[in-house]
Structure 1
Amino acid sequence: MRTVIVLFNRDLRVNDHPALTAAVRQARRVVPLFVLDPALAAPPGRTVFLLDSLADLRAALRARGADLVVRRGDPVAETISMARRVGADGVFASSDVSGYARHRERRLVAECRRERLDLRLFPGVTVVPPGELTPAGGDHYKVFTPYWRAWSATRWREVLPAPEALLLPDGLRAGTLPTPTELTRATAPGGRVPGGEVAGRRRMSSWIEHCLADYERGQDDLPGDITSRLSPYLHFGCVSPRELAAEASGRPGAEPFVRQLAWRDFYHQVTLAFPDITWKDYRPRAAGPPTVPDPDQAFEAWRDGRTGYPVVDAAMRQLATEGWMHNRGRLIVGSFLTKTLRLDWRLGARHFAGLLLDADVPNNFGNWQWVAGTGNDTRPGRVLNPLRQAKRFDSGGDYVRRYVEELGNVAGSAIHRPWRLPAAWRGGYPDPLVEPVT
């Protein structure tokens, strides 16, 4: 091939990038292309993280003699326009599973066929490609444990090094990246988290070296916060999940962490088989009527971190301020919304999608359906009691004190039951939305 376009989407890196590696090996000239799609408008925090990641990718490509070509508009139309502009022979891209991504891929297939372009889709978003593992008599695994066994026994593809050099077509204008406005930077939840492959790989190496061995012991400890915080880098593909699995595997304490990467893959293969996961119950069930007289008001209290349950409110305020939430917190607030208040899981999933830096469609919506009892949980009726969860995972109240300022002066475990305290000690903190269940 003379010229190949590599269409970047959720794979913003040069290390272990199968589509990029194949293009460099098979074509004389390569056009690394990213299209800013107005249909995928993101909240401020995620926008800043994306722009950091694109700037970092551009720097990596420039160091290899090329550039990141940036365009704005419909990704399919812009890709075809670029192919005509440079006389491309093919388009290479990483395959994805969300409904929007698959619709984009179908359109790209049709347009490339019309233009007689060689379109090739590669793995790279997961460790094991979605759809590669299937149970006997089914198109996907519906339960995690058998998937985990099959996933663990699979021979993973090799980790690919970053290409040493790329050659762009002559005279090609790279285009400019938007600069976040001061307002965007000031209001971005989690804006302090740097995006990009350099930051992601630095975080990966440091966390594996210093924290992986203690992950199983501390993964649910809310104030300890020993989780990797690599999920935003995985969401944007700044870190390769395949390389992360390779780097972690075989080290002391690795299995519980690698298992989480398998959960991520699990939801990608569920979403491939069930693209309606963002709005339709995977397993329909009747949840019963809401337990509160005003569901809209209750949802707003949950959203704003004013439910009267400190551990719930701390987690919701962490989300609002950081664009991230501890995984144990996600389970607690999800159960509280769907099982305690009996409100629709879609409300919570959409709220999370609007704020999280790591808002993967498969994992966000898959996990919300799991906690609501409509998804892949084998115990759909389970309820996480927020008081018991607080006692177990934030026994001293340090996590709550970090985010619920009104209760900052309350010492010890008494912080988890503020309704028992004198009103003057509560700083205006609200009463519980529903009667506490001990």
Structure 2
Amino acid sequence: MSTAIALFTRNLRVHDNPVLHAAARAEAVVPLFVLDRAVLDGPFHRPNRARFLHDCLTDLRDRLRELGGALVVRDGDPATEVARLAEEVGADAVHVAADVSAHSYAREEALRAALPDGLLHVHDDVVTARAPGLVTPSGNDHFAVFTPYFRRWQEAPLRRVVPVPDAIRSPRVRRGGLPSRNELIAGSPSPDLPAGGETRARERMAEWYRDGVADYASGQDDLAADATSRLSPYLHFGCLSPVELVRRAGIGDPERAFVRQLAWRDFHHQVLAARPGAHDRDYRTHHDRWRADPDALRAWQEGRTGVPIVDAGMRQLAAEGWMHNRARLITASFLTKSLYLDWRLGARHFEDLLVDGDVANNRMNWQWVAGTGTDTRPNRVLNPVRQAQRYDPRGDYVRRYVPELAEVPAVRVHDPHRLGEDELDRLGYPPPLVDLAEATERFRRARGKA
């Protein structure tokens, strides 16, 4: 009897999962998840993602049961555990999804070394819609500018959506058990986290394509409207297939605008795949001599900068483990260009809290905003007051997350310099950390652009 192991990593789903689909061709399938100690004992294992992961694994276990299979759980080093299980069940194949983080590359190499030749099968187009390396410019290994990448990306082949296996037959093997939430989560998650898992992901996807995407092209930057898909956490954990999302999108302007964002996700993955060191080193350095100001960093982290739109974004992050993309741009620009603090400090704080704390997207977006990445205008500064007036004109987003300013009229709520010291004291809201004009000049001088 042929037996295959389907190793789940960032593909915690049964729909359109090439790893599970390929393994299901065998007569017996062992769906496996390894509680990787390098992750669980490391800095990237944070309460928000741990709780979401627990939801995802619980849901995956239930979906596999419906198919007649059983999720096998092991705790330890993935290569060691996979090799031990492969020998135990006499596996003919081990299937796993390709990924681009340094940890993923190391895991894949360790699996190759631990398993007999030919046993490991690595599947592209599982974590991304189009694999890194599929879309390349002539004479280079990756695109460094999004627009030409997107043109080529749209023309590249897109694999078909693979069906859910009709049934899964698992051999007799010790299943192991999922840890409880308390065992998996160290610390307190944000109070308003979304529920994880493929079931909720597919409900959200259906709601989005039925009721939400029609307004996306016009409303994606409207902070108060919250008119984005909020699918990024489910994409990060692989509860949804990016290929299926692209395939299900229509051809109208809103759908095309949404698909463009999925292409941005693939773009960042192909950049990091080609330049692995960019997760912690400048992709294009300006030799910045970043300031050291722990108090300013703490104020930014806590949403106490005295710049309302920045504070609203940071408080949304703390409350929900998620932040609107426009707010991510504004808060990141404020940290790196108004405060002139190192982008890595911001990236790490986001990774502490974001449920969708994806290494490729988080780190490369931070570099883009800091002007050390792929932005063709690296010295642009997003003025937070003008951004707020444009994307939160009534001040509803600010008042939602900064209740101290709930009674301040929209005409004044965005500009900290229009709120006097006495009024700020009465409201219990801090004065601005910096004069925005002076901060912009400081940044330009530091970059030699004054």
Q: What's the TM-score once normalised by structure 2's chain length?
A: 0.92
The correspondence of residues 138-177 of structure 1 with structure 2, limited to 5 A, is 138-170=140-172, 172-177=173-178
Count of residue correspondences? 431
Match in the other structure for 2:201: 200
Residue 288 of structure 1 deviates from its aligned partner by 5.1
Match in the other structure for 1:300: 298
The correspondence of residues 316-395 of structure 1 with structure 2, limited to 5 A, is 316-395=314-393
**CA distance in structure 2 between the partners assigned to 1:301 and 1:364 by the alignment:** 21
Which is further off, 307-316 or 413-422?
A: 413-422
**CA distance in structure 1 between the partners assigned to 2:57 and 2:252 by the alignment:** 32
Asked whether the equivalents of residues 349 and 365 of structure 1 are also in contact (C-alpha less than 8 Å), the reply is yes
- What CA deviation, in whole Å up to 9, does each residue of 1:131-186 have, x standing for no partner? 1111100111111111101100112000111111011112x121111121399599
Asked whether the equivalents of residues 407 and 425 of structure 1 are also in contact (C-alpha less than 8 Å), the reply is no
**CA distance in structure 2 between the partners assigned to 1:126 and 1:68 by the alignment:** 24
The correspondence of residues 37-56 of structure 1 with structure 2, limited to 5 A, is 37-41=36-40, 42-56=45-59
CA RMSD between the two structures: 1.8
Residue 121 of structure 1 deviates from its aligned partner by 0.4
Match in the other structure for 1:11: 11
Match in the other structure for 1:75: 78
Match in the other structure for 1:34: 33
Displacement over 6 Å in runs of 4+: none
Asked whether the equivalents of residues 213 and 253 of structure 1 are also in contact (C-alpha less than 8 Å), the reply is yes
Match in the other structure for 1:430: 430
Question: What residue identity is the alignment partner of 1:247?
Answer: R
Give the alignment partner of residue 135 of structure 1, picking from 137, 146, 159: 137
Q: Give the 3-state SS of the residue equivalent to 1:7 in structure 2.
A: strand
**CA distance in structure 2 between the partners assigned to 1:38 and 1:146 by the alignment:** 40
**CA distance in structure 2 between the partners assigned to 1:188 and 1:339 by the alignment:** 30
Residue 403 of structure 1 deviates from its aligned partner by 0.8
Residue 423 of structure 1 deviates from its aligned partner by 4.2
Asked whether the equivalents of residues 45 and 191 of structure 1 are also in contact (C-alpha less than 8 Å), the reply is no
Change (3 A) 1:252 1:374: closer
Residue 418 of structure 1 deviates from its aligned partner by 3.9
Match in the other structure for 1:21: 21
**CA distance in structure 2 between the partners assigned to 1:64 and 1:183 by the alignment:** 26
Match in the other structure for 1:409: 407
Structure 1 residues without counterparts, runs of 5 or longer:
none
Residue 48 of structure 1 deviates from its aligned partner by 1.0
- What CA deviation, in whole Å up to 9, does each residue of 1:366-417 have, x standing for no partner? 0000000010111111110011001101111111111112212212231112
Residue 249 of structure 1 deviates from its aligned partner by 3.4
**CA distance in structure 2 between the partners assigned to 1:88 and 1:190 by the alignment:** 43
Change (3 A) 1:182 1:31: closer
Identity in percent: 54
Match in the other structure for 1:120: 121
Structure 2 residues without counterparts, runs of 5 or longer:
439-450
- What CA deviation, in whole Å up to 9, does each residue of 1:172-228 have, x standing for no partner? 121111121399599311654111111001101101111111101110011111000
Give the alignment partner of residue 311 of structure 2, picking from 313, 321, 331: 313
Match in the other structure for 2:287: 286
Q: What's the TM-score once normalised by structure 1's chain length?
A: 0.95
Asked whether the equivalents of residues 47 and 187 of structure 2 are also in contact (C-alpha less than 8 Å), the reply is no
- What CA deviation, in whole Å up to 9, does each residue of 1:30-76 have, x standing for no partner? 10000011221321111111011111111111111111111111111
**CA distance in structure 2 between the partners assigned to 1:321 and 1:182 by the alignment:** 22
